[in-house]
Homo-oligomer: A and B are copies of this chain.
Amino acid sequence: MPLRSIKNSLKEKGVRLTRQRQILLDLIDSSGQHLDAEQLYKLARDKDPGINRVTVYRTLKLLKETGLVDELDLMHFEGDQHYYETRLKQEHAHVICLSCGKVEEFFGEPLYRLRHQVEKSLGYQVVIARTEIGGYCSHCRAVRARELEEARIGSPAQPEPKRRATTQR
């Protein structure tokens, strides 16, 4: 769903397209990342220094309730906040590396099968499906293997890998 249809969709519902909402909608749509309320607030402040954190929360709630954005947890890797993305793409799962925090998206048939089977076998009308997968990405596994190898050859025990990504928050 392109940004324009989101805006139209709101208009049709009698929801006013205020400056603040425009800014937030643009940010969510254009970022390409998964931003949380605080990040959105800070980015929005650059465009409108007077904007309030509460407005961000209210707007996110509105967009979520009207089904225009999806709320993600991303395995609570960083903390307990939520992340947002516009509902523009095909259905996808989010895959989070539990070592470095990287988030990847997975598109594929099993997601559709899952949805259809739930509709068929449980008799549901599915509205939203959220799949989050935690694991270790190939990069982190390689690093880990190398560390273990080095430890085996020479030096004493290595420290555990850090649980949180250091670049965020």
Contact = CB atoms under 8 A, between A and B. Distances in A.
B113 A110 contact: yes
Contact of A127 (B76, B98, B130): B98
Nearest to A104: B122
A73 B128 CA distance: 14
A129 B136 contact: no
A118 B114 CA distance: 15
Give the number of copies in the complex. 2
Nearest to A138: B123
A131 interface: yes
A136 B131 contact: no
A136 B124 contact: yes
A95 interface: yes
A97 to B, nearest CB: 7
Nearest to A163: B65
A3 interface: no
Between A95, A108, A133, the greatest number of chain B beta carbons within 10 A of the residue's beta carbon is seen for A133
A10 interface: no
Contacts of A121: 106, 108
A135 B128 contact: yes
